[in-house]
Amino acid sequence: MTRGRIRAKIRRSHLYTFACIHPHAAAAASSSEGEEPCQFDGPGFSRIVHCNQPKLHEKKPFKYCTNYISTTKYNFLTFLPKALFEQFRRVANIYFLLAAALSLTDIAPFSAVSMIAPLAFVIGLSMAKEALEDSRRFIQDMKVNMHKATYHKGAGVFAHKPWMKLRVGDVVKVEKDRFFPADLLLLSSSYEDGICYVETMNLDGETNLKVKRALEVTLTLDDDASFKEFTGKIKCEDPNPNLYTYMGNFEYAQEVHPLDPNHILLRDSKLRNTAYIYGVVVFTGHDSKVMQNATKSPSKRSRIEKQMDKVIYILFSLLVFISLISSIGFAVNTGYEMPNFWYLRPYVDSKLYDPTRPALSGFYHLITALILYGYLIPISLYVSIEVVKVLQAFFMNQDIHMYDEETGTPAQARTSNLNEELGQVDTILSDKTGTLTCNQMDFLKCSIAGCSYGTRPSEVERAAAKQMAMNLEDDDDPDICQNDIDASQIELETIVTSETENDQRRVIKGFSFEDSRLMKGSWMKEPNSEQILLFFRILSICHTAIPEMNEVTGEMTYEAESPDEAAFLVAAREFGFEFCRRTQSNIYVQERYPSYDNPVEREYKILGLLDFTSKRKRMSVMVRDEDGQIFLFCKGADSIIFDRLARDGRAYEEATTRHLNGYGDTGLRTLALSFRKLDEEEFTSWNGEFLKAKTAIGNDREAMLEKVSDMMEKDLILVGATAVEDKLQKGVPQCIDKLAQAGLKIWVLTGDKMETAINIGFSCSLLRQGMKQICISSTNTDALEQEPKEAIKENILLQITNSSKMISVEKDPHAAFALIIDGKTLVYALEDDVKHAFLNLAVGCASVICCRVSPRQKALVTRLVKEGTGKTTLAIGDGANDVGMIQEADIGVGISGVEGMQAVMASDFSIAQFQFLERLLVVHGHWCYKRVAQMICYFFYKNIAFGLTLFYFEAFAGFSGQAIYDNWYMLLFNVVLTSLPVISLGVFEQDVSSEICLQFPALYQQGPNNLFFDWYRIFGWMGNGLYASIVIFFVSILIFFEEAFRGDGQTADMWTVGSVMFTCIIWGVNVQIALTMSHFTWIQHFIIWGSVVSWYIFLFLYGMLSPVHSGNGYRLLMDVLAPAPKFWVATILVTILCNLPYLTHLSFQRSFRPMDHHVIQEIKYYKKDIEDRTMWNRERSKARQETKIGLSARVDARMRQFKDKLTKKYSTIGVLPSSLSPHH
Which residues 6+ apart lie within 8 Å of 1099 measured at CB? Answer: 1059, 1113, 1116, 1117, 1121
Query: What burial letters (b/e) apply to 579-609, b meaning 16+ CB within 10 Å?
Result: beebeeeebbbbbbbeeeeebeebebebbbb
How many residues can be counted in the chain?
1224
Dihedral angle sign, alpha carbons of residues 383, 388, 389, 391: positive
CA–CA dist 55, 73 (Å, integer): 31
Q: At what angle do helices 112-145 and 379-397 cross, to 10 degrees?
A: 30
Residues identified as active-site: 431
CA 226, chain centre distance (Å): 46
Of 509, 559, 438, which Cα lies nearest the Cα of 913? Answer: 438
Which residues 6+ apart lie within 8 Å of 1173 measured at CB? Answer: none
Give the DSSP H or E segment for 577. Answer: strand 577-582
Contact 783, 760 (CB under 8 A): no
Contact 97, 88 (CB under 8 A): yes
Peptide bond before residue 43 is cis, with ω within 30 degrees of 0? no
Rg (CA), the chain: 37
CA–CA dist 295, 73 (Å, integer): 11
DSSP 974: I
Which residues 6+ apart lie within 8 Å of 496 measured at CB? Answer: 462, 465, 466, 469
CA–CA dist 273, 470 (Å, integer): 46
DSSP string, 1106-1131: -HHHHGGGTTIIIIIITT-HHHHHHH
Contact 779, 825 (CB under 8 A): no
Which residues 6+ apart lie within 8 Å of 577 measured at CB? Answer: 536, 537, 539, 540, 589, 590, 591, 592, 593
Query: What burial letters (b/e) apply to 648-658, b meaning 16+ CB within 10 Å?
Result: ebeebbebbbe
Give the DSSP H or E segment for 160. Answer: strand 157-162
Of 973, 1076, 982, 978, which Cα lies nearest the Cα of 1024? Answer: 1076
CA–CA dist 706, 399 (Å, integer): 56
Indicate the SS3 state at residue 439.
strand
Contact 558, 517 (CB under 8 A): no
